[in-house]
Amino acid sequence: MDASYLDLLMAQQEEVTEEATGGGGIWVVADVVDGAVAPVTLEALGAARTLADSLGAYVYSVLLGDSVADGSTPLTTGLAQTLYQAGADGVRVANHPALARFALEPYLEVLAALFEEEQPEVVIFGATAQGQELAPRLAQRMDGGLIEHVVATSLDEATRTVVVTFPVYSGEYFEIAACPEARPQFLTIEPGTFSAPFLDPYRKGEPATLDFEPVEPAVHVVGAADDFEPPPVPLAQATVIVAAGRQAGDFELVQQLAAALGGQVAGDRGARDAGWIGPEQIVDVRGVTVAPQVYVAVGIRGDTFHNAAVEEAKFIAAIHPDPDAPIFQVADLCLEADPAEVLPALLKALT
């Protein structure tokens, strides 16, 4: 058999036909970012598929947006295919200029009408700007339960209840909770915690277009907030820190790494001596004590006075050429390598 025949065979087997709508189902509300389906939506579809398979239910997804400028092919149709490829059994699409970017009232009315009719068992959003606004309002409107920032799910099959895990105190521990009776069960999932499903290119489908009357948003965007600067976060409260030590090599790369991670630059006393940082950026018990979520020590040997000042960091990664460097006793992840060789590759892998 040649490849084209195999393709044809696969294509025929993967045509998804919409099952008769009996209501229920596991629904995912899609987020669109930069003209494509957001990764968190794919992750949500993966989670939805797992739940649906155990419950014997179908996975549906709903996509709101607008057509491309020339009006020929609605962008949403192309995106809908991604949803099928990610495992949706059915896709609903609402296509209108009023839905071009997220605004609460227009999106809410479409989804409320849809869910009122479909009566989903579970609705999953990404824990995004869109999800944090829509999920609670829909939940309140429909007397549904809602748990936000979910990082894991399991199923109580007897009661068809989704049991979820969400972080407390930014992940110090986790709470397990569920809404045993309220339906629909709404969840928002934390981006990057569920694995995205394999995108099956042979899986296709015909999205159904939703009819609706567009409503006006109540909140108007006036424009960019040109003269607004968020208050500066002191180093002691920064959540992400990249710190340089004497062996850091090119300090420019350290700064780029901090920018790539959205963090602040700091260093040890060696970095101060090298003139790379100011005295208010020294991580040391004799300087600043820090407690970030992530601390990357680049070329820092890590003496006791430095290490004591980062002991509250939730995660420490250290890069240093000397395998006996004391920093490796406190770091969670140790890279025994020359920062000059690691940083360029690291920056490349992060973009």
Partner 1 sequence: MRIVVILGQVLDPSGIVIKRRAGRIFVNREEYVLQPADRCALEAALRIKNAALAGLRPSQGVEVVALPRGPLPDDDVLRQALATGADRAVYLTGEGFDGADDAAMARVLAVAVERLGGADLVITGATTFDTGQGQLGPRLAETLGWPQIVGAWQVEAADGRVRVVRQEGSGYVVVNADLPVVITVLPGALKPRYPDGARLINVYRAEDAVEKWDVSDLVSDLVDEAALQPLLEKRGQDFPPERERGVRLSGTPEEMAQALADTLRQRLGRRPATARER
Partner 2 sequence: MDFTFAPEHIALRRLVREFAENEMAPLAMEIDREGRVPFETLRKMAKIGLLGVCFPQKYGGMGAGETGYCILMEELGRVCTSTATNVGAHIGIGAMSIYLDGTEEQKQKYLMPLARGEKLGAFVLTEADAGSDAAAIRTRAVRDGNEWVLNGTKTFNTNGSFADVVTVMAVTDPTLGARGGMTAFIVEAGTPGFKVGTHENKMGIRGSSTAELIFEDVRVPHENVLGKVGEGFISFMKTLDMGRLTLGAACLGGAQAALETSVHWAKTRKQFGVALAHKQSVQWMIADMATEVEALRSLVYRVAWLVDTGQPFTQLAAMCKMYGSEVASRAIDVALQIHGGLGYSRDFPIERNFRDARISEIFEGTNEIQRIVIASNIFRQHGVRIRP
Q: Residues 45-84 vs partner 1: string with x where CB under 8 A?
A: -------------------------------------x--
Choice between 2 and 172, CB closer to partner 1: 172
CA 38-44-45 angle, 5° bins: 100
Cβ proximity to partner 2: between 101 and 286 the closer is 286
Q: Which is nearer to partner 1, 129 or 285 (CB)?
A: 129
State the maximum Cα–Cα separation within the chain, in Å, rounded to a whole number: 73
Which residues touch 161 (CB under 8 Å, ≥6 apart)? 155, 178, 179, 180, 185
Query: Which residue from 4, 17, 72, 170 is in contact with partner 1, where contact means CB under 8 A?
Result: 170
* Residue 202 site contact among partner 1, partner 2, none (CB < 5 to 8 Å, cut-off depends on kind): none
Amino acid at 43: E
Which class for 165: exposed (0-12), middle (13-18), buried (19 or more C-beta within 10 A)?
A: middle
User: Residue 110 Cβ, how far from partner 1 at the closest point, in Å?
Assistant: 16
> Least separation, in Å, of the C-beta of 19 and partner 1?
25
Q: Which listed range, 55-63, 230-238, 247-255, 276-284, lies at the site for partner 1 (CB under 8 A)?
A: 230-238
Give whichever of 136 and 214 is closer to partner 1, judged by the CB atom: 136
The strand pairing partners of 126, in sequence order, are 189
- Residues of this chain that bind partner 2 (CB under 8 A): 284-287, 304-305, 308, 311
Neighbours of 202 (CB within 10 A): 14
Cα dihedral 135, 137, 142, 144 sign: positive
Query: Which residue(s) pair with 164 in the sheet?
Result: 153, 177
Interactions with partner 1, residue window 253-292 (CB under 8 A): 261-262
223 in contact with partner 1 (CB under 8 A): yes
Residue number with CB closer to partner 2 (121 or 268): 268
318-332 per-residue burial string, b: 16 or more CB within 10 A, e: under 16: bbbbeeebbbbebbe
Q: Of 65, 100, 54, 320, nearest to 207 (Cα)?
A: 65
Nearest CB to partner 1, comparing residues 139 and 282: 139
Least distance (Å) between residue 158 CB and partner 1? 14
Q: Provide, rounded to whole angstroms, the least separation between the CB of residue 66 and partner 1.
A: 17
